[in-house]
Chain A
């Protein structure tokens, strides 16, 4: 099973601007001075070992879209944020535009940042393709059709050449989708959202974004941990700090890195991937968040180590 992140930012696409690029460039040039970086190979090696991730790259700014590839031609896409456009172009490059395919897409909910990539989802414009959209959210079809409609978008839903199907899932009921077992769970978020546990060939990925975990409800916390039980990878909404999630942003429907570590520890999960990054965070801030989360896991560990990553656009995790 291979997981590819095409969009990892929360709420709003976030472009890296020229000022930020210049700052990275100046910093890299200063750090690289005296290292004899007179070939591309030496410069590449220095970027790998001499610079932090934030100094040499970027976490990216596309909104939620994650591909879970089961090998062969079977895959599931989670959410259609702005990252879906890049996914769709890569998929056409990989499979060829003339070869009809079925795209299986799970939607956590229908807030704008999770569906905004659909109007630019190129396979939807190609006859012969089937786009099958699954969600426990009962208003998915209304939201998708409404988005491809004037005055919001010039291409009407009815003009899309592919066959678009909507499948409503029941939370707690396992379904077979693209050869995997998929189970949804209702999450606390404005207008509801749903997490998905995806299992195939002995590997488990849990995609749980846009979810606020209420610490006062022990039963709900234990139920949330059960949903993550023994997962190989948990893709987790860590948009806020814990202090913000408990105060000024309480009931805004998101969680923190602290929630993520605790729930994964309770669940015996193997790997936590911080996801749905706050749009005001720059790369240095997300680097810092990752370092702090790794440290939190170390000082609170009671069982086997939990590996912690921060998702970035382009990250590929093999399980």
Chain B
């Protein structure tokens, strides 16, 4: 599992790659928490390059979502593969936080001010 962080105006975008399972879930959570701590606004997690997420990875998302909620920092995930979408539905995580089909949709909803910088890059 690898992750890359990109700070924008009012939003941090974290792009994750690989498998998020029992052995990588903690590193996943640490990376998301650090990005969230460095940003006063929203966190969007780009899952387009994640091929599998286990219950431990879903727990990491839950922890980061709850931490953001406690300090009014919006949270969302974006671009999950059809397989990941099924896992979100079966686990009912799709009822906990928003899941967007595209990054543009997520950014436009959570921090519209960041959209032009995102699209310019």
Question: A residues bordering B, Cβ < 8 Å?
Answer: 215-216, 218, 221, 241-244, 246-247, 256-259, 262, 292-293, 295-296, 299-300
Q: CA separation between A300 and B51, bound complex, in Å?
A: 10
Partner of B91, one of A216, A221, A258, A299: A258
Q: Which residues of A contact B22 (CB under 8 A)?
A: 215, 218, 221
Contact between A242 and B58 (Cβ–Cβ < 8 Å)?
A: yes
Q: CA separation between A299 and B87, bound complex, in Å?
A: 9
Given contacts A215-B22, A243-B58, A257-B90, 10 further A-B contacts (CB under 8 A): A215-B55, A218-B56, A221-B22, A241-B91, A243-B92, A258-B91, A259-B55, A295-B86, A296-B90, A299-B86
Please judge, given known A-B contacts A215-B56, A221-B22, whether A242 and B83 are in contact too, CB under 8 Å: no
Contact between A216 and B59 (Cβ–Cβ < 8 Å)?
A: yes
Q: Choose among B66, B89, B91, B93 the residue with the greatest number of A CB atoms under 10 Å from its CB.
A: B91
Interface of B is mostly: helix
Give me 9 A-to-B residue pairs in the complex whose CB atoms sit less than 8 angstroms apart, sorted by A's number.
A215-B25, A243-B91, A243-B96, A247-B62, A258-B55, A258-B91, A262-B54, A262-B55, A296-B86
Tell me the nearest residue of chain B to A246, going by C-beta: B62
Q: Chain A's nearest CB lies how many Å from the CB of B50?
A: 14
Taking residues whose C-beta sits less than 8 angstroms from the other chain, chain B's interface range is: 20 to 34
Q: CA separation between A295 and B22, bound complex, in Å?
A: 21
Q: CA separation between A256 and B22, bound complex, in Å?
A: 16
Q: Which residues of B contact A215 (CB under 8 A)?
A: 22, 25, 55-56, 59
B23 within 8 Å of A by Cβ?
yes
Question: B residues bordering A, Cβ < 8 Å?
Answer: 22-23, 25-26, 52, 54-56, 58-59, 62, 66, 83, 86-87, 89-93, 95-96
- The 4 lowest CB-CB distance pairs between A and B, nearest first, are A242-B91, A241-B92, A243-B92, A215-B56
Contact between A247 and B52 (Cβ–Cβ < 8 Å)?
A: no
Contact between A299 and B92 (Cβ–Cβ < 8 Å)?
A: no
Please judge, given known A-B contacts A247-B62, A257-B90, A299-B86, whether A242 and B55 are in contact too, CB under 8 Å: yes
Contact between B83 and A299 (Cβ–Cβ < 8 Å)?
A: yes
Q: CA separation between A221 and B21, bound complex, in Å?
A: 12
Contact between A244 and B92 (Cβ–Cβ < 8 Å)?
A: yes
Tell me the nearest residue of chain A to B62, going by C-beta: A246
Q: Chain A's nearest CB lies how many Å from the CB of B61?
A: 9
Q: Chain B's nearest CB lies how many Å from the CB of A245?
A: 9
Tell me the nearest residue of chain A to B54, going by C-beta: A262
